[in-house]
Chains A and B, each alone.
Chain A
Amino acid sequence: MHTTLTPPESSKYLRLNLGPSHPATHGTLRVFVELEGEIIRGMKLEIGYLHRCFEKMAETHTWNQVIPFTDRLNYVSAMMNNVGYVRSVEKLLGVEPTKRCQRVRVILCELSRIIDHLVCIGANAVDLGALTTFWYFFRERENVYDLFEALCGARLTTSVTRVGGMYKDLPEGWLEWCRKVVNNLPRTLDDVETLLTANRIWIDRTQGIGVISKEDALEYGFTGPCLRATGIPYDIRKAMPYYDYDKFTWDVVTESGGDTYSRYLVRMGEMRQSLKIIQQCLDDMPGGAINIDDWAIVLPPKEQVYNSIEGLMAHFKLIMHGIRPPLGEVYDCTEAANGELGFFISSDNQGRPYRVRVRPPCFAIYQAFPEMCIGQTVSDAVATLGSLNIVAGELDR
């Protein structure tokens, strides 16, 4: 079995440790390989080098205080974690955010998906020696960061959602600015496609590398781009639509190779589809309030707090008492950049969650990494690891 290595005394293989501090392991992933020449005959993984105790922290903070902790799960696309967590809490409370809030969350989620794929492909290319695409993609990331900073003040770890709505409504001119950013993005994607997609070197290094079959992918619990790259067109936004994803016109991008090249193509395709979705949201942005009108969940507006007794009392109660979802356990999932990001929330009617369980998409995907690498060389393992988009914050929580 490939998860145990042969005992050192009897082994004819060379053991190599790709340590936790390694440029190609994207920080904090440790891989032991057994090599016969350059070919990997056995592989064992070690994780936990970024175990930041998210689930325990969630039990000791209030419902809204957990949101900054969720940011740091998949930190390259922080907003998707915010939205995922808040959706579960809203499901437990039985509230539905306003239409405007839903649209805004969709735009932010899709922008986060795009920037996640930018980092994934950029870092994957850097591991294989292609530095140019990294700079191009990070330039685009800066443009999106500017949008995020205008919205909530933070570039990376945004904490922008709240239970029942958002931290703030969109500032003036944000929508036009977003449109400009979104209109400029395809040019960079085209540039990088010209550089990589038909590039002989890229194809030789990624086609047929890190292959996983459909059946194994399902066995291991793959979801997201890694699953769609094996040919299974499963996307939660189409299968269990939320926030009007079924009303937008977009396609699920699927490839059938199951290898690194397919994963790259799926991610490039998904970025273009996300741009389509954002354009449709921008064209159809309803007005109205961004937060729901329930002062037991959302803080009342400041004019009401200062000028009316009900506002003052509601504000006081929310700050001192907190949100109190009813007793129960729910699970809700969204299609995050890596796959199905699920939050299982257990509440016992207190101001703090009783249990918050994150179903991390990377955990399932990384478990299959040895299976994808046995029989290939170390450099292929590096190429495969980059394409899986393992984010340690999510993997170890």
Chain B
Amino acid sequence: MSEHSLTVSSTEADLKNVAFTTRLEDFINWGRKNSLWPLPFGTACCAIEYMATVGSHYDVSRFGAEVVRFSPRQADCLLVLGTVVEKMGPVLKQVYDQMLEPKWVIAVGVCASSGGFYRAYHVMQGIDNIIPVDVYVPGCPPTPEGIIFGMLKLQEKITKGGIVRARDRYKIAR
């Protein structure tokens, strides 16, 4: 064979050095989970802890999620950070509806998960009253490690695959 042509050995052992096989679905999920674009719907104290998570000490960009996008059309992971009160409910629903599939929701903090310690006349007792939630992160506020753990749990959920579209996953009416 001339020196200029490439020779590729066709034994299986050598094939492993240059290629790997997987399912298309797993490959896409790997891409999705490592490049979540969060929409920080920050209302209260948890938003400040999220700012610390995005900061240089806790650095959420190691997980690929540093591209915070405040437009729901450009984001795929809705992070609800802080108390959602009744007045804010329609706003949250509108933002969630505007997001494109596939989309996930992380309820950060106890206020978003269940109303927190505000058993009060104006506080929504958990955002799952109006939108479906994938991961609940407890804490008041959760430490940045907690928020990162929540994102890792979401990544696990994406890895497991299954139904991707939120509206099929949770049977939301269109």
Contact = CB atoms under 8 A, between A and B. Distances in A.
Chains A and B belong together in one complex? yes
Interface stretch (B2-10, B14-22, B47-55, B166-174): B47-55
A6 interface: no
B122 A393 contact: no
Nearest to B92: A21
Contact of A157 (B41, B45, B52, B70): B45
A72 B51 contact: no
Given A52-B123, A139-B56, A21 B91 contact: yes
Given A19-B91, A72-B44, A51 B70 contact: no
Given A21-B91, A141-B52, A50 B118 contact: no
A80 to B, nearest CB: 14
B141 A157 contact: yes
Interface in A67-91: 68-69, 72, 75-76
B55 A53 contact: no
Interface stretch (A22-30, A329-337, A357-365): A22-30
Interface residues of B, number: 31
A154 to B, nearest CB: 9
B122 A52 contact: yes
Contact of A138 (B55, B83, B123, B141): B55
B87 A48 contact: yes
A392 B45 CA distance: 10
A53 B121 contact: yes
B13 interface: no
Interface string B77-98: 0000011010110011001000
A135 B83 CA distance: 25
A50 B48 contact: no
Contacts of B44: 27-28, 50, 52, 72, 75, 392-393
**Most chain A Cβ neighbours within 10 Å, of B44, B70, B91, B123:** B44
B143 interface: yes
A156 interface: yes
A142 B120 contact: no
Given A27-B43, A53-B123, A56-B120, A138 B52 contact: yes
A68 B111 CA distance: 14
Interface string A146-165: 00000000011100000000
A22 B120 CA distance: 26
Contacts of B42: 27
B140 interface: yes
Contacts of A20: 88, 91
B45 A72 contact: yes
Given A23-B70, A142-B55, A49 B45 contact: no
Contacts, number: 90
Interface residues of A, number: 32
B160 interface: no
B57 A50 contact: no
Contacts of B82: 27, 50
A54 to B, nearest CB: 9
Contacts of B118: 52-53, 57
Contacts of A139: 55-57
A145 interface: yes
Interface in B29-77: 41-45, 47-49, 51-52, 55-57, 70
Nearest to A72: B45
A220 B25 CA distance: 60
Contact of B45 (A23, A51, A138, A393): A393
7 contacts: A27-B44, A27-B82, A49-B85, A138-B52, A145-B52, A157-B141, A392-B44
Closest 6 CB pairs of A and B: A53-B120, A75-B45, A138-B55, A23-B70, A142-B57, A27-B42
Interface of A: 19-23, 27-28, 48-53, 56-57, 68-69, 72, 75-76, 119, 135, 138-139, 141-142, 145, 155-157, 392-393
